[in-house]
Amino acid sequence: MSRARSAPTREQIRVDDLVTLPLPGLDHPTRVEFTQDSNAVTYLAPDPGSNTRSLWRQDLESGTRTLLASVDLTASRALTREEELRLQRRRELGSGITEYHRAEDADLIVAIHRGRCLVSQDGSLAVEMPDIRVAEAVYPDPGGRRIAWAAWGELWLAELAGGAHRRLSQDGEPGVSNGLEDYLAAEELDRFEGAWWSASGTEILFTHVDERRIPLFMTGTGRSASGTMLREEYRYPFAGGPNPRTTLRLAAMAGDSPDREIGLDFADGYLARVGCPETSGACTGISWRRREPRPSFGSSARSRG
Express each pLDDT in 140-149 by its tens digit. 999 999 999 9
Say how many domains are in the chain. Answer: 2
Question: What digits encode the pLDDT tens for the residues 89-146?
Answer: 888 777 889 899 999 999 999 998 888 899 999 999 999 988 888 899 999 999 999 9
> Residue 1: inside a domain, yes or no?
no
Whole-model pTM? 0.80
Choose one of 99, 128, 157: the last residue of a domain: 128
Q: Are residues 114 and 196 in the same domain?
A: no
CA within 13 Å, CB half, 113: 24
Q: Are residues 301 and 195 in the same domain?
A: yes
How far apart CA 147 and CA 166 sit, in angstroms, is 11
> Residue 143: inside a domain, yes or no?
no
How far apart CA 101 and CA 260 sit, in angstroms, is 26
* Alpha helix stretches (DSSP H) within 143-301: 183-189
Phi-psi region of 162 (alpha: psi -120 to 50; beta: other; left: phi over 0): left
How far, in whole angstroms, is CA 109 from its chain's centroid? 14
29 DSSP assignment: -
Residue 153 φ then ψ, to 5°:
80, 0
Question: What digits encode the pLDDT tens for the residues 221-248?
Answer: 666 666 677 777 778 888 888 888 888 8
List residues bridging with 297 in a β-sheet.
Answer: 286
114 Cβ partners below 8 Å, 6+ apart? Answer: 71, 76, 77, 78, 79, 80, 83
Q: For the chain, which ranges sit under pLDDT 70?
A: 1-11, 13, 17-25, 73-76, 220-227, 263-269, 276-305
Q: Are residues 101 and 195 in the same domain?
A: no
Q: Are residues 178 and 114 in the same domain?
A: no
Buried b / exposed e along 185-196 (16+ C-beta atoms within 10 A): bbbebebebbbb
> Residue 240: inside a domain, yes or no?
yes
Q: Are residues 276 and 189 in the same domain?
A: yes
Q: State the residue range of the domain holding 227.
A: 173-305
> Residue 154: inside a domain, yes or no?
no
How far apart CA 55 and CA 120 sit, in angstroms, is 10
How far apart CA 148 and CA 128 sit, in angstroms, is 15
Q: Which of 86, 37, 108 is nearest to 185 (CA)?
A: 86
Q: Are residues 177 and 58 in the same domain?
A: no
How far apart CA 51 and CA 22 sit, in angstroms, is 6
Choose one of 128, 159, 189: the last residue of a domain: 128
Q: Are residues 177 and 302 in the same domain?
A: yes
Q: Are residues 179 and 257 in the same domain?
A: yes
Q: What single letter denotes the amino acid at residue 19?
A: V
pLDDT at 265: 61
Q: Which of 248, 250, 246 is nearest to 303 (CA)?
A: 250
> Residue 144: inside a domain, yes or no?
no
How far apart CA 121 and CA 160 sit, in angstroms, is 10
> Residue 157: inside a domain, yes or no?
no
Q: Are residues 83 and 197 in the same domain?
A: no
Q: Are residues 94 and 193 in the same domain?
A: no
pLDDT at 239: 80
> Residue 23: inside a domain, yes or no?
yes
CB 144 within 8 A of CB 106: yes
| DSSP strand pairing (116-121 vs 127-128) | antiparallel
How far apart CA 89 and CA 112 sit, in angstroms, is 17
Choose one of 75, 104, 128: the last residue of a domain: 128
